[in-house]
Chains A and B, each alone.
Chain A
């Protein structure tokens, strides 16, 4: 694989990467929308979901995209036009940047970066800027309230998210996501190394904190106060229509997929399946699929919670972040550090 890539020129490698990035974002987002938003939720709510477009409604997504593309791109008269128009792209950019450090196999990834998870956490918060831009630029009171709520919430939950990762980093002794996968593949739990050491077993508290904080970062129920459709009329997205709304929509689901992929890499062993040699070239082919399978499982959890729970009020979710998740994450770091030194 490496040899093959080495023979290609720079522009060829770049186009492969861009193509892979688009596939990784759009395919994942599309699958999640169909499998979770259309079908799983319909079954939860005792309905069938889309059944007409294509076999079993599988082309419904295409129909929806076609619908969105036909709609007029409306900019409110008093809106800050440039900020308003740029906001969805900023949000989507953050999603694509998150993907850069994600490993899909021993060689199948975009950039080997020793600060991988650090970079991911950093670019993950770029979406806050996009959301704030959307909230401010729309010149709508609902959007403004939604944008401000989103900013407060995303900043608050950035911290437990990061602190939950620190436990993994201590245990794996690296921030490079590829090496975190290998550490899980080659690791052992107190001398028992049959299935490696998926960090969900040894970092269970970290995993729970990461999933809760991720739910909040994605502004999914019960942390969807910023979009609260029953009071703020979807908050910062109120004024968007057509293609730009579609971009927000893709951004929401693609980010859910990419964050789940990060969680899968950190806690579920990423592209690795127990029982095989992690250096096997086979993983360059099945690795992305394995990762995708794990992503589907994790996003299933996200959307299961999303469609079951009512939402927290703004002060309640802040209290949860600062008074419960942050202390728990700090305790987790301390315990991990002590055990790391002792064992």
Chain B
């Protein structure tokens, strides 16, 4: 982990802003409630910002407006029923939510999905990542004021959603993963169509690169804004692209793979040394491209065979505990499943990425200006359902 000069400067600037705020002129502050209903929070996150003019003195995220109690609800549902619930955690990349839970249950039951199921699982896992981050790439531009890219994002995300729908029957909430395999096999012609969709996504990435990333105003708005040094990011538990944008080369898909076949294909973990909003955007853009490459390679090598292992019709999970985490679109998502040998899990603890990612905001927003709040929140990229489970 190397700390660049710009990171150091950003860190010093943040510390200095912390000390400087409201000392130069004692003015009466103003408290601005950003949210719960606000166009920039895509949901009901509330940020209480104490302002001095347009500068933020202190900012506090208030979560829980969308809390749905999934951990508690999971205790009174059988294992197959739980996937329906957890689909709704990160609603833009739903399939990816099911995978770690199913993997944890499989580990407890000591079954393993057949290779074909594992490969298709990984393909769908990456497709939901693309569907999720594609929208981010358009949305980030909206946060800094350009409204056209998000329409391109919606247009091209549709290709991916169509493929997810063709395979699973659901555009947003596939509910397709089963303990021991998958619900169905792939429909005829799906592989070729998915390749087509991946080409369109790569074209979309090129478009975004020209339209947004290369734009001087976009760079002026995002470079050096919201710098997260790697040590601070790690101490707040940031994961996913947010920490990779700070130069930490860590990806669960590569470093602790379990149950998914990312190790079978050739791909790269992208990092950026700067740790600012631009870096977070850039890393996600590269990750989308990388995901299309992963999907392309996986499609080449889907093995034949069954898609379900031998599992009993009524699933009773033996007593035990298991924790499985995967690299979801928003960051590391993990399920800690405790079983007492019943039809239902005894306790499920969900570690969702956005909750940790948002927890850095009080540190990060101190001393920035009001327009930058939106840029920083946009670049941290959270889904409200992923914050309040």
Residues of chain A touching chain B, judged by Cβ–Cβ distance below 8 Å, are: 41, 44-47, 141-142, 145, 221-222, 224-225, 228-233, 307-316
Contacts and interface: CB of A to CB of B under 8 A. Distances in A.
Given A47-B151, A308-B148, A311-B144, 19 more contacts: A45-B151, A46-B151, A46-B152, A46-B155, A145-B54, A230-B142, A230-B143, A231-B34, A231-B371, A232-B370, A307-B146, A307-B147, A309-B146, A310-B141, A310-B145, A312-B217, A314-B369, A314-B371, A316-B221
B30 interface: yes
Contacts of B45: none
A313 B369 contact: yes
Given A45-B151, A222-B217, A233-B38, A313 B146 contact: no
Contacts of B30: 141
A314 B217 CA distance: 12
Contacts of B34: 231
A221 B143 CA distance: 13
A314 B142 CA distance: 17
A230 B220 contact: no
A169 to B, nearest CB: 32
B372 interface: yes
A225 B151 CA distance: 21
B373 interface: yes
Given A44-B148, A141-B30, A313-B371, A229 B39 contact: yes
A310 B151 contact: no
Interface string B9-43: 00000000000000000000010101000111000
Interface in B204-228: 211-212, 215, 217-218, 220-221
B38 A224 contact: no
Q: Which 4 A-B pairs have the closest CB atoms?
A: A311-B145, A45-B151, A310-B146, A310-B144
Contact of A228 (B32, B145, B218, B369): B145
Interface residues on B, range: 20 to 34
Contacts of A221: 145-147
Contacts of B38: 233
A208 to B, nearest CB: 16
B206 to A, nearest CB: 16
A309 B215 contact: yes
A309 B145 contact: yes
B130 interface: no
B54 A222 contact: no
B145 A222 contact: yes
Contacts of B148: 41, 44-45, 307-308
Interface string B147-188: 110011001000000000000000000000000000000000
A313 B125 CA distance: 37
Contacts of B145: 221-222, 224, 228, 230, 309-311
Contacts of B384: none
A231 B217 contact: no
Given A141-B30, A231-B40, A311 B369 contact: no
B218 to A, nearest CB: 5
B374 interface: yes
A311 B212 CA distance: 12
A142 B370 CA distance: 11
B234 to A, nearest CB: 29
B372 A313 contact: yes
A224 B147 CA distance: 12
Nearest to B220: A316
Contacts of A44: 148
Contacts of B369: 313-315
Nearest to B225: A313
A230 B40 contact: yes
Contacts of A225: 371
Contacts of B370: 145, 231-232
B54 A233 contact: no
Nearest to A317: B217
Contacts of A41: 148
Nearest to A221: B145
Nearest to B215: A310
Contact of A310 (B54, B155, B218): B218
Interface in B124-144: 141-144
Contacts of A307: 146-148
B147 to A, nearest CB: 6
13 contacts: A45-B152, A141-B32, A145-B54, A145-B370, A221-B145, A221-B146, A230-B145, A231-B373, A232-B370, A309-B146, A310-B212, A310-B221, A313-B369
Contacts of A315: 369
A229 B143 CA distance: 9
A327 to B, nearest CB: 19
Nearest to B40: A230
Contacts of A47: 151
Most buried by B among A142, A230, A316: A230
A229 B146 CA distance: 11
Nearest to A47: B151
Contacts of A231: 34, 40, 370-371, 373-374
Contacts of B143: 230
A310 B211 CA distance: 10
Interface string B180-204: 0000000000000000000000000
Most buried by A among B142, B145, B217, B374: B145
Contact of B54 (A230, A312, A314, A316): A314
Nearest to B30: A141
